[in-house]
Amino acid sequence: MLKAFRENFKHLKWVLWLVIGVFVIFVFVDWGMGTTRGTAEQDVAAHVGSFRITTAEFQREYRDSEDRYKQIYGKNFTPELAKAMKLPEQVITGLVDRHFFKEEAARLGISVTDDEVMARVLKMKDNQGRPIFVRDGVFVGEATYRRMLAGANMTPADFENQTRNQALLEKLNRFFTESTFVTDDEAEADFASRTVKAKVSYVLLPSARSAAPAIADAEAEVYFKANQAAYVLPEKRKAAYLLVDSTKIRSAINVSDADVAAEYNANLDQFKKKEEVHARHILYKSDGTPAQDTAAKAKADSAVKRIKAGASFEAVAKAESDDPGSKASGGDLGSFDRGRMVKEFEDAVFGADPGAVVGPVKTPFGFHVIQVVGKTAERTQPIFEVSAMIRQRLIDQRTADEARRVARDLSDRARKKGDNVSADDLRKLAGATVTFGETEFLSRNDAVPALGPSPAFGQALFSQKVGETSDPVSSTRGETVLVVQEVRKPGPAQFAEVKSRVIADLARKKQDEATLAALGGAAPAGSAPEAAAAKLGLKVETPEAFGKSGPIPGLGTGKEILDAVFASSPGEVKGPFLVAGQGAALVKVLEKNPFDRKAFDAQKPQIVDQLKNQKSGRILQTLLVRRRAESKIDINKDVLARFGGNG
């Protein structure tokens, strides 16, 4: 029952995160957050204005997130993957946004009473639909309730707070959903975009068949002057920076055998491996109907007899298994511990001896014939098995810590020179592990070639004043400290600045015009694509049917073509049209099914609900964007760093 409770609670946490996750996944890379500079209290993970998110709250949420991802990725979920996914940043983002949602709920007068919380708790059920906290129609009692929660490492207060948060977020979402309005036209447009279909044939003349013309500078300048609005330059900034090179730092990091042993002994729980079974199986699928069950079981019974009579398990699996994931490998499922398979399958394999053939075993998927290849008892991995991994982890951790320390020191030293730090001031701080560099003028999303893509660097570049020293900023090569040296405001470009781009644009325009003319010349008005194809040596394509919003297979989502197709009748020929990046196309409408009013009327309630949910989601997303922009958000980078984040 405790396992059922744990699984149920994880499900509740999924619901809670789903409400938030719709709006916040991966947005943390461009929040414009501030960062604490070593002065944050160690028990605070973030400040949102005067509100504090505690380190304990962050740690609890982080562990819950780890559990969710471990369920998804299994053994493939490693500390390295968590770091690549920026899991610490995801978690702090979720906590901050959850605070914004709760504030909005309070502003709107939305709340959850203690009675509502208790009602939800009493209604909670396990995977078999049985009440978790109710026995024979009565609450299990305070002592049992506390004991069950303790088994999931939670106090009643924590659990009830999580339950309250879930209910509050659901109420907030429901408030906005019920406050939105969907017109009949919106509902019909949505239905039409998915159900009104057309089928066409077309011939496509590639642009490459028309030679790109040479463009003289004078001609390009005339084109530029006629189209200056297309060549307005965005704001660009230039910076000087110091790079604390992680590669150079790493080479000086030493991790002794004693360090590895100390880390191992301090974290023995991390190296415990549960009992594992290595198994193969053959699946005979069934949809659960009596006829299907009878047929599938008969096949499984036959397979068991043949295997026990000497037939190769792998050969039978390759020939007969309905499991595409393991069929090619002879049914091999590899090794797994408890909790990875459905209960019926798990009970069978863990209850059998190595070498045994078990089955048929019925599960929701059908009937299985199982061979237990081997078993490994629960154990703690010896240090020699994990020492290389521990050593690498310590090296990575110490490298990151040292790089951050050096970068922090550099930032503090530069700031002593005031708010007008020059490139020469930074250059003087370079050393054995610290490289000085300067960027070209960069727009907001440009990468520094020497550093690689770094949203954090771009964010710092465009959020600071000229001469102001940044906090340490992470890049793919290490920690950086930057100072903006010059800002070029957005405005009209000079021809010389965009000359190469203008020439390319004009050449492409002329090539497109020549391609359109060539296809038009091969297809007099009303000519079918077949006629143009015969003259030009091309092939007529007849793709699958498509909807009003496209795409047309092979031609994309060009609005001009889609509008023409759905405004035409079967048999009409339209074009030629320019197809961006491809060439010119001539299109014939073959079939077009009309708007099905009866089907729309039947589906309209569901369509309206779906559109209202979409509108609600956009409202909440807008709310978050506004609150982030209005709020001062300070993240304790030391806390993130302890969990592998970019401190």
For residue range 374-395, list pLDDT tens digits in order. 998 888 888 998 899 899 989 9
Residue bearing tokens 């009949």: 184
CB 205 within 8 A of CB 517: no
Paired strand residues for 475: 478
H/E stretch holding 200 reads: strand 197-206
Distance in angstroms (rounded) separating the CA atoms of residues 17 and 228: 47
Distance in angstroms (rounded) separating the CA atoms of residues 39 and 21: 30
Distance in angstroms (rounded) separating the CA atoms of residues 75 and 496: 56
pLDDT in tens, 307-319: 999 999 999 999 9
Distance in angstroms (rounded) separating the CA atoms of residues 611 and 605: 10
pLDDT in tens, 513-527: 999 999 999 888 778
Paired strand residues for 379: 273
CB 532 within 8 A of CB 538: yes
Which residues have C-beta within 8 Å of that of residue 378, sequence separation ≥ 6? Answer: 272, 273, 274, 275
Q: What is the DSSP letter of 469?
A: B
Q: ω before 576 within 30° of 0 (cis)?
A: yes
Dihedral of alpha carbons 125, 127, 129, 135, sign: negative
Residue 640, phi then psi, degrees to nearest 5: -60, -40
Which of 126-140, 161-175, 384-398, 425-439 is predicted most confidently? Answer: 425-439
Distance in angstroms (rounded) separating the CA atoms of residues 411 and 642: 21
pLDDT at residue 543, rounded to an integer: 93
Q: How far is CA 570 from the centre of its chain?
A: 42
Distance in angstroms (rounded) separating the CA atoms of residues 144 and 129: 20
Residue 42, phi then psi, degrees to nearest 5: -70, -15
Distance in angstroms (rounded) separating the CA atoms of residues 57 and 38: 20
Q: Which parts of 102-196 are beta strand (E)?
A: 134-135, 138-139
- Is residue 387 helix, strand or coil? helix
Which residues have C-beta within 8 Å of that of residue 594, sequence separation ≥ 6? Answer: 196
Distance in angstroms (rounded) separating the CA atoms of residues 645 and 647: 6
Distance in angstroms (rounded) separating the CA atoms of residues 48 and 40: 13
Determine the average pLDDT of the residues in 64-90.
82
* Domain boundaries 197-210+498-592, corresponding CATH code: 3.10.50
pLDDT in tens, 183-224: 999 999 889 888 889 999 999 999 988 888 999 999 999 999
Which residues have C-beta within 8 Å of that of residue 274, sequence separation ≥ 6? Answer: 337, 338, 378
Determine the average pLDDT of the residues in 439-457.
88
pLDDT at residue 18, rounded to an integer: 42
Distance in angstroms (rounded) separating the CA atoms of residues 448 and 157: 49
pLDDT in tens, 545-577: 998 888 999 999 999 999 999 999 999 999 999
* Domain boundaries 2-180+622-642, corresponding CATH code: 1.10.4030.10
Cβ-count burial 92-127 (b if 16+ within 10 Å, e if not)? bbbbbbbbbbbbbbeeeebebeeeebeebbeebebe
Q: Is 269 exposed, middle or buried (0-12, 13-18, 19+ CB in 10 A)?
A: exposed
Do the two domains 236-257+385-489 and 275-377 of this chain adopt the same fold? yes
Sheet holding 366-376, edge to edge: 332-337, 276-285, 366-376, 357-363
If one counts every other C-beta atom within 10 angstroms of the C-beta of residue 507, the result is 15
If one counts every other C-beta atom within 10 angstroms of the C-beta of residue 585, the result is 28
Q: Is the pLDDT of residue 22 over 50?
A: no
pLDDT at residue 157, rounded to an integer: 87
Fold of 275-377: Chitinase A; domain 3 (3.10.50)
Paired strand residues for 483: 240, 469
Which residue ranges make up each domain of the chain?
A: 2-180+622-642, 197-210+498-592, 236-257+385-489, 275-377
pLDDT in tens, 223-270: 999 999 999 989 999 999 999 999 999 989 999 999 999 989 988 888
Distance in angstroms (rounded) separating the CA atoms of residues 239 and 468: 10
Distances (CA, A) of 355 to 326, 349, 372: 19, 11, 5
Distance in angstroms (rounded) separating the CA atoms of residues 287 and 263: 50
Q: pLDDT band at 10, cuts 50/70/90?
A: very low
Percent of the chain with pLDDT over 90: 48
- Is residue 582 helix, strand or coil? coil
pLDDT in tens, 349-358: 999 999 999 9
- Here the tokens at position 226 are 């006629």
236-257+385-489 has CATH 3.10.50.40 classification: yes
Q: Which parts of 312-463 are beta strand (E)?
A: 332-337, 357-363, 366-376, 379-380, 434-438
Q: What is the number of alpha carbons within 13 Å of residue 592 lying toward its C-beta?
A: 18
Distance in angstroms (rounded) separating the CA atoms of residues 477 and 243: 8
pLDDT at residue 79, rounded to an integer: 79
Rg (CA), the chain: 32
pLDDT at residue 62, rounded to an integer: 87
